[in-house]
């Protein structure tokens, strides 16, 4: 009778001798390294420095070194950003730099409302209008104040291998600070934000990042974004809905000579934000 080997069959107990086809760590690492090399070349030719980080501790170290070398940094601000939450950056910076002026105007309370309104019940804002308006005006002024910081730390919706940073913003504070305002800007993105070119970046922003952002706000911050077309249809239809925050699309494709030390990009070898 033919043995199993002669018939070319594989015994179940032999399976562990074969390569682990379920583990793709090396493949992902290799792709990230090639993409990062290209990003570095493209962005640095446009006067935007690029750093890679494998984890939040490496991100903190890059930021700490950056601040240490620039002793004039006294005022630091943040915009909102899931990536920054996932890196624990708000808590880290508030604790580490408590001797500096650290501004976080879009901070949220435990219930998901903006912190400035205090700890309110979950659901739509229920403050009397005058009190709400007064706090809203202060919130707005704080955002304007943050715009003149020495360093702002933000996320972005997409970056391209050609050296562009692409973001969409309703209020505009995040995207405008990339163009002008803060003396320095540190942009932090996970590797999932890497795209090949502007078409791919804009497609990512409108058909993926924007709808998810609206769903996040509707779920966690009681906004009315759940009725936007992209949330209902799963794709962008280029609407001009009153609730749409897709009003400002900014593409940063470099810095002028005088701004050569202004924008710094940290690409984290992890999936962060969306
Ligand atoms: S333009 Fe309108 S449909 Fe498109 S992503 Fe923005 S809100 Fe959604």
What's the CATH code of the domain at 256? Answer: 3.40.50.10420
Kindly state whether residue 55 falls inside one of the protein's structural domains: yes
Best of 213, 224, 230 for a ligand 1 pocket test (most atoms within 8 Å of beta carbon):
230
Residues forming a β-bridge with 176: none
Kindly state whether residue 111 falls inside one of the protein's structural domains: no
Best of 170, 201, 218, 237 for a ligand 1 pocket test (most atoms within 8 Å of beta carbon):
237
Strands 158-160 and 248-252: unpaired
Tell whether the model's pLDDT for residue 204 goes beyond 70: yes
Q: CA of 10: how far to CAs of 2, 4, 15, in Å?
A: 14, 7, 8
Tell whether the model's pLDDT for residue 12 goes beyond 70: no
Kindly state whether residue 18 falls inside one of the protein's structural domains: no
Number of domains present in the structure of the chain:
1
Kindly state whether residue 4 falls inside one of the protein's structural domains: no
Kindly state whether residue 113 falls inside one of the protein's structural domains: no
Tell whether the model's pLDDT for residue 16 goes beyond 80: no
User: Which pLDDT score, from 0 to 100, does residue 120 have?
Assistant: 87
Tell whether the model's pLDDT for residue 5 goes beyond 90: no
Kindly state whether residue 213 falls inside one of the protein's structural domains: yes
Average pLDDT over residues 214-240: 93
Helix, strand, coil tally for the chain in percent (to 5) = 45, 15, 40
CA nearest ligand 1 atom 8, residue:
230
CB atoms within 10 A of CB 3: 7
User: Which pLDDT score, from 0 to 100, does residue 13 have?
Assistant: 61
Kindly state whether residue 138 falls inside one of the protein's structural domains: no
Identify the CA nearest to 225 among candidates 208, 210, 238.
Answer: 210
Determine the structural domain holding residue 246 and report its residue range: 25-104+150-218+226-268
- Enter the pTM of the model: 0.92
Identify the CA nearest to 80 among candidates 269, 221, 222, 268.
Answer: 221
Q: CA of 77: how far to CAs of 123, 205, 211, in Å?
A: 28, 24, 26
CA distance 257 to 58: 28
User: Which pLDDT score, from 0 to 100, does residue 124 have?
Assistant: 84
Question: Residue 76: phi, psi to the nearest 5?
Answer: -120, 140
Q: CA of 150: how far to CAs of 145, 175, 204, 263, in Å?
A: 11, 16, 31, 12
Kindly state whether residue 98 falls inside one of the protein's structural domains: yes
């Amino acid at each position: 009778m033919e043995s199993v080997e002669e018939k070319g069959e594989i015994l179940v107990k032999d399976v562990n001798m074969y390569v682990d086809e379920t583990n793709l760590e090396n493949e992902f690492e290799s792709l990230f390294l090639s993409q990062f090399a290209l990003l570095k070349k493209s962005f640095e030719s446009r006067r935007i420095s690029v750093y890679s980080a494998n984890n939040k501790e490496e991100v903190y170290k890059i930021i700490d070194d950056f601040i240490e070398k620039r002793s004039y940094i006294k005022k630091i601000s943040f915009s909102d950003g899931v990536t920054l939450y996932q890196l624990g950056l708000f808590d880290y910076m508030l604790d580490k730099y408590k001797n500096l002026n650290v501004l976080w105007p879009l901070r949220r309370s435990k219930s998901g409302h903006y912190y400035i309104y205090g700890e309110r019940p979950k659901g739509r804002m229920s403050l009397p209008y005058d009190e709400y308006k007064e706090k809203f005006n202060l919130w707005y002024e704080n955002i304007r104040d943050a715009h003149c910081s020495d360093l702002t730390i933000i996320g972005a919706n997409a970056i391209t291998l050609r050296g562009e940073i692409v973001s969409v913003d309703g209020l505009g504070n995040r995207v405008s600070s990339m163009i002008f305002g803060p003396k320095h800007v540190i942009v932090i993105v996970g590797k999932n934000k890497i795209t090949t070119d502007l078409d791919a970046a804009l497609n990512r922003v409108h058909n993926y990042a924007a709808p998810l952002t609206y769903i996040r706000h509707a779920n966690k911050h009681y906004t009315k974004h759940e009725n936007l077309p992209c949330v209902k249809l799963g794709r962008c239809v280029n609407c001009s809905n009153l609730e749409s925050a897709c009003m400002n699309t900014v593409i940063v494709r470099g810095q002028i000579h005088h701004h050569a030390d202004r924008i710094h990009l940290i690409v984290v070898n992890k999936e962060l934000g969306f």
